[in-house]
Amino acid sequence: MNELLEALWYILPAYFANASPVIFKGKTPMDFGKSFVDGKRILGDGKTWRGFFGGLFTGVLIGVIQYQIKPDFYGSFSIALKLAFALSFGALLGDLIGSFVKRRIGMERGYPAVGLDQWGFLVSALVLAYPIKTLTTGQVLFLLLVTPFIHWGANVLAYKLKWKSVPW
Amino acid sequence: MNELLEALWYILPAYFANASPVIFKGKTPMDFGKSFVDGKRILGDGKTWRGFFGGLFTGVLIGVIQYQIKPDFYGSFSIALKLAFALSFGALLGDLIGSFVKRRIGMERGYPAVGLDQWGFLVSALVLAYPIKTLTTGQVLFLLLVTPFIHWGANVLAYKLKWKSVPW
């Protein structure tokens, strides 16, 4: 497999974990409606338990499917599973940290933070997956370059399919 | 030198190139006041020729000083010079692309784009410097993690020193 395609293959669970909460939605917010010391919401209504676990499940499922298709990429099912979990959890954690930062600086739910939305989940996923299986520096830089475009394209698509109310 | 300190040493010209336009300021905007096809400014008054060349000069100067201190890190003066130029030019280019994106989505000059402001110049610098001298994956991830905090700290400091009118 080409080195760049390999990088996209590697990151797939993170992409799916990051995108799927849009479909799962959910009602109970992860911060249970609570506010932070600054009086603003900790995370906001956009981050739900259902979205979180739905995203985690989806990302891990993608990893299981990927292992069936290309087991030699992972070496063992255990590594494939750990990697998919780390990438998915990392992507969701990065998104939560992003929401936390957005609320602290007074940004409304759903308002785009250019850069944070596209890179935050990716950096977090790459960091958490790093101890399990590592990409080369070139592959990491490639993912940093293409992810904003993929993220933007996926959001426009979700908007056109009416899964999202805003195109970001 | 410790691997993580080495990463900070490596990226130093990019940090200085990114920070120095605040001091150089300048009047003539790089877009010469022209608008893009969407009727909005191409880059805005915040990006000046003086800031650009001042940033480039500062970044390269830092590289020259770094070579005097630690020549074995670079191997040759030619590599040190090329690396400092690539990192500085990359940082400034990333910042320009950031301004271009911010203008396109209707953000005012100086308005913070969380993520884009902290990671855009870094990703661009790392990509342009990649063919000259490469960090490890771990070092790149480390820089992605610490740069937002360094960026934020530097901006708060510049604000307190009254070099900037806003703390971001």
Taking a contact as any Cβ pair under 8 Å apart, which residues of chain B between 62 and 81 contact chain A?
none
Question: What average pLDDT is seen over chain A?
Answer: 92
Question: How does DSSP classify residue B48?
Answer: B
CB contact under 8 A, A137 and B134: yes
Q: Residue A58: its pLDDT value, please?
A: 97
- Is A91 in contact with A55 (CB distance < 8 Å)? yes
CB contact under 8 A, B137 and A141: no
Angle, helices A116-129 vs A3-19, to 10°: value is 110
Chain centroid to CA B120: 8
B104, pLDDT greater than 80 = yes
Residue tagged 């850069």 (tokens): A115
Which ipTM did the prediction report? 0.90
B1, pLDDT greater than 70 = no
Question: How does DSSP classify residue A150?
Answer: H
Q: Residue A23: its pLDDT value, please?
A: 83
- CA distance linking residue A162 with residue A158, whole number of Å: 6
pTM of the model: 0.91
A1, pLDDT greater than 70 = no
- Is B116 in contact with B91 (CB distance < 8 Å)? no
pLDDT-based confidence at residue A16 (cuts at 50, 70, 90)? very high
Task: Give per-residue pLDDT as tens, B44-84.
Answer: 888 999 999 999 999 999 999 999 999 999 999 999 999 99
> Which 3 state secondary structure label does DSSP give B31?
coil
- CA distance linking residue B147 with residue B118, whole number of Å: 7
- Please report residues of A whose CB lies closer than 8 A to that of B102: 114
Position A124, amino acid: S
Provide the total of helices (H) and of strands (E) in chain B, helices listed first. Answer: 7, 0
Question: What average pLDDT is seen over chain B?
Answer: 92
- Please report residues of B whose CB lies closer than 8 A to that of A99: none
Domain residue spans in chain A?
3-160
Mean pLDDT value across residues B125-140: 98
